[in-house]
Structure 1
Amino acid sequence: MTLLDRTEAPVHPARLILILSLAPTVGLGIGRFAYSLLLPDMRDSLQWSYSAAGFMNTINAAGYLAGALITSQLVRRYGLSAIVRVGTLGCVLSLALCALSGNFVLLSAARLIAGIGAALAFVAGGALATTIAQSQPQRSAFLLSLFYAGPGLGILSSGLITPFLLQAAGPGSWWIGWLVMAALSAVMTLPLLLAPLDSHASMSGGPATTFSIRPVLIYLVGYFMFGAGYIAYMTFMIAYVRDAGGGPAAQSAFWCLIGASAFVTPWVWRRIMALDRGGVSTTIILAVNALGAALPLFGLSPLILAISALVFGVSFFAVVASTTAFVRFNYAQAAWPSAIAAMTIAFGIGQTLGPLAVGAITDAVGSLSSALAVSAATLALGALLSGFQRPLKR
């Protein structure tokens, strides 16, 4: 079924994808990344080590991996739009759970639920956004980028609220931050529940296509490196800014720059993503991402931190979009959910292992600079590996 098959006035594809982008806004932009804003206060109040702090992102990533593994089966049974909505609602629930207690087990369970919900919403939402984008083939790369800019809205909104909320409420107020983020996410979820997502809920394009790992193994390894590398930057940079003397305003500005950069991503990278059907586009974008992660190693001046946030942010969101563009170029439409799920699984394994490794390194060395160095090197390796991926024969 297409938008024109419906009896009511058709919804413009860009508008529908923008509504759909609220799923990763809640699941990733807030559900995953707002933790970084609350982490310094949680770590001080709950007396966590960096390893314990990293574990919270590891358990979230493990949930994300589990969700990615089951999304394709759930989509075949319940449909894309239903899985997007259920996953997003699960993320809202998890945010509320995080406000209930400082108990490590309960918080771990809440972060696990957040990861599962985010994966369901992201994989199903990505497949649905790809389907919607096909209604305007000439603008499909741009339309897809709108969906992947969604987390930027979550990062921006949480960055505008959380640092100042924590300052006003005082030490130990991290749970209030989670409660406010849950309320904000609930409001953002309403358009998803009301929009006619079912107009594109079914996948078409011929018989089912078997997804094979071997032809894209090098690309999957590169995406694994991205998952392992980006997480250190996004988990510990706010703590890094705070330890360097940055107050709430500096933390908010840094975080908001990352989020705001997502909104220019569709225009910055649309030609690059249409440049090559293999891995070259991902290599270029991921190399820029590695540069953004490495910049704080050369100084902590406001200018360097601002450039780092902008460079990292504008490329971070585009890496994920480039993998979906790769799927769209190289696979039949019927294989998109399975292919996107495979990419998400590789990414999920990387971001599951990344926080534990980086937290352990930071505890051992005693410096967050080591975490950033490992992060940048891992991203650079991912960029190198992705460049060896060639277009697939269809």
Structure 2
Amino acid sequence: MKSPDGRQNYPHPAWLILVLSLAPTIGLGIGRFAYSLVLPDMRDSLQWSYSAAGFMNTINAVGYLAGALLASRVIRRFGLPRTVRWGTLAAVASLALCAMSGNFIVLSFARLLAGIGAAGGFVGGAALAATIAQSRPERSNFLLSLFYAGPGLGILSSGLIAPFVLQAFGPGSWWIMWWAMTLLSLVLILPLLLAPLGAATTINQATTIDFAARPVLIYLIAYFLFGAGYIAYMTFMIAYVRDGGGGAPAQSLFWSLIGISAFATPWVWRRVLALDRGGLATAIILGANAIGAALPIFGHSPVLLAISALVFGVAFFAVVGSTTAFVRFNYPPAGWPIGIAAMTISFGIGQTLGPIVVGAITDAMGSLSFALNVSAAMLALGAVLAAFQKKLVQEAATSE
């Protein structure tokens, strides 16, 4: 349905974007990040080192990187809605596979599959959400930010469930937690499978444009540092809370605060995300993210950890949103899938290297504090670099 001026109208764009946000809810919020909640029990039960534990997020990131590399081709072949749905279904299947075996190779494959599926759901979903948001230009930044609240729902729901499942069933119950996450994801995916997403596709998927990395190289490096820096915090903070004496309630509260803070993202960063000034918006938000990651360095105080979770969470999801806004401001709609994919690839390389490097540092130093120091430093450096990214000048770019 079109308005008299020819602009595509979408029924309930906020509702459609919220439904789309279920893709990263499952693929990222649960598929990737719930691993942090079960990592301590898996490491103890399966006798893993920190390096082995970090490898599980590294292989997940490898899958995410592979999915991002393939995303543009898959989208052109199958379309945005199918890419989102099939990617999210693959992420659900990976959760069930994690529950079926303690074999390191099987679990590695499951984490790889989770990454591939999450990338398809995220890249396709972000491009589709950006398209839908354009139907309401005056609210486009707010609408787009709703998509990035999705992982927060996954983090919140898993944080309210996983620690208490593990406490109720005792040591070695990590596989029960994975079944619980599988059932949760099966419920969450239903609206995504049933919603009329096909009607929302306006990007010409047969059209391709060239993507030049050089004009945005400094921005890509900044996003790479974000990928490498954030993952240490999200992988090992539950272990840090537990090592400081935090039981299931403390772990649940900390993780839930990260998830809750995501719901404030659309309002907290609305004006910042509207800044069409190169990498400035990303620099501001990434700086706040670095502050949140640095706070645990100063101790295990519950108040300090709570503030850290809130600050990190509200900025973390907005950093990802700012990159989609950057692509939307600087590239034509036909270039959004490949632009978002390029950003995701840079991010994916960073988060591929981050967990295993940080795990090795922790094994060598014997303390997670060193890992958190490295994490915060990389985020801060990324913020500085993003500030130097200028707005692209090209006739084809549009922000309508």
User: What is the TM-score of this pair, normalised by structure 1?
Assistant: 0.97
Report what 1:251 is aligned to.
251
Q: Quickly say closer, same or farther: Cα 1:129–1:257, change in 2 above 3 A.
A: same
1:135-176 superposed Cα distances (whole Å, 9 cap, x missing partner): 001111101110011000000000000001100000000000
1:104-124 superposed Cα distances (whole Å, 9 cap, x missing partner): 000000000000000000000
Report what 2:142 is aligned to.
142
Residue 388 of structure 2 is aligned to residue 388 of structure 1: yes
Contact 2:148 2:318 in 1 (8 A): yes
1:310-349 superposed Cα distances (whole Å, 9 cap, x missing partner): 0000000000000000000000000000000000000000
1:157, 1:92 → 2: CA distance? 15
Runs of 4+ off more than 2 Å: 1-4, 204-209
1:10, 1:35 → 2: CA distance? 36
Contact 1:259 1:313 in 2 (8 A): yes
Deviation at 1:300, TM superposition (A): 1.1
Contact 1:2 1:199 in 2 (8 A): no
1:214-247 superposed Cα distances (whole Å, 9 cap, x missing partner): 1000000000000000000000000000000000
Secondary structure of the corresponding residue to residue 99 of structure 1: helix
Q: Quickly say closer, same or farther: Cα 1:256–1:371, change in 2 above 3 A.
A: same
1:298, 1:113 → 2: CA distance? 37
Secondary structure of the corresponding residue to residue 26 of structure 1: helix
Report what 1:173 is aligned to.
173
Contact 2:225 2:379 in 1 (8 A): yes
Q: Quickly say closer, same or farther: Cα 1:145–1:3, change in 2 above 3 A.
A: farther
Aligned residue type for 1:63: G
Report what 1:93 is aligned to.
93
Residue 177 of structure 2 is aligned to residue 191 of structure 1: no
2:276, 2:134 → 1: CA distance? 18
1:389, 1:200 → 2: CA distance? 32
Q: Which 10-residue stretch deviates more, 264-273 or 207-216? A: 207-216
Deviation at 1:208, TM superposition (A): 3.5
Pairing of 1:261-340 with structure 2 (within 5 A): 261-340=261-340
Contact 1:65 1:345 in 2 (8 A): yes
Q: Quickly say closer, same or farther: Cα 1:3–1:40, change in 2 above 3 A.
A: farther
Residue 204 of structure 2 is aligned to residue 210 of structure 1: no
2:317, 2:148 → 1: CA distance? 6
Deviation at 1:362, TM superposition (A): 0.2
Secondary structure of the corresponding residue to residue 269 of structure 2: helix
Contact 2:37 2:159 in 1 (8 A): yes
Pairing of 1:102-141 with structure 2 (within 5 A): 102-141=102-141
* Percent of paired sites with the same residue: 73
Report what 1:59 is aligned to.
59
Report what 1:242 is aligned to.
242
1:253-282 superposed Cα distances (whole Å, 9 cap, x missing partner): 000000000000000001011123300110
2:127, 2:176 → 1: CA distance? 35
Report what 1:356 is aligned to.
356
2:94, 2:388 → 1: CA distance? 39
Q: Provide the aligned C-alpha RMSD in A.
A: 1.5
1:350-377 superposed Cα distances (whole Å, 9 cap, x missing partner): 0000001100000000000001000000
1:5-51 superposed Cα distances (whole Å, 9 cap, x missing partner): xxxx9520000000000000000000000000000000000000000
1:74-109 superposed Cα distances (whole Å, 9 cap, x missing partner): 100110000000000000000000000110000000
1:211, 1:360 → 2: CA distance? 35
Contact 1:241 1:250 in 2 (8 A): yes
Pairing of 1:374-385 with structure 2 (within 5 A): 374-385=374-385
Aligned residue type for 1:20: L
Instruction: State how many pairs are aligned.
Output: 390
Q: Quickly say closer, same or farther: Cα 1:181–1:220, change in 2 above 3 A.
A: same
Contact 2:276 2:329 in 1 (8 A): no
1:288-318 superposed Cα distances (whole Å, 9 cap, x missing partner): 0000000011121110000000000000000
Contact 1:61 1:349 in 2 (8 A): yes
Aligned residue type for 1:81: P
Aligned residue type for 1:43: R
2:99, 2:202 → 1: CA distance? 37
Aligned residue type for 1:195: A
2:207, 2:87 → 1: CA distance? 27
1:325, 1:125 → 2: CA distance? 14
Report what 2:397 is aligned to.
none
2:107, 2:2 → 1: CA distance? 42
Pairing of 1:62-77 with structure 2 (within 5 A): 62-77=62-77
Deviation at 1:3, TM superposition (A): 9.7
2:298, 2:29 → 1: CA distance? 27
Contact 1:277 1:329 in 2 (8 A): no
User: What is the TM-score of this pair, normalised by structure 2?
Assistant: 0.96
Residue 223 of structure 2 is aligned to residue 223 of structure 1: yes
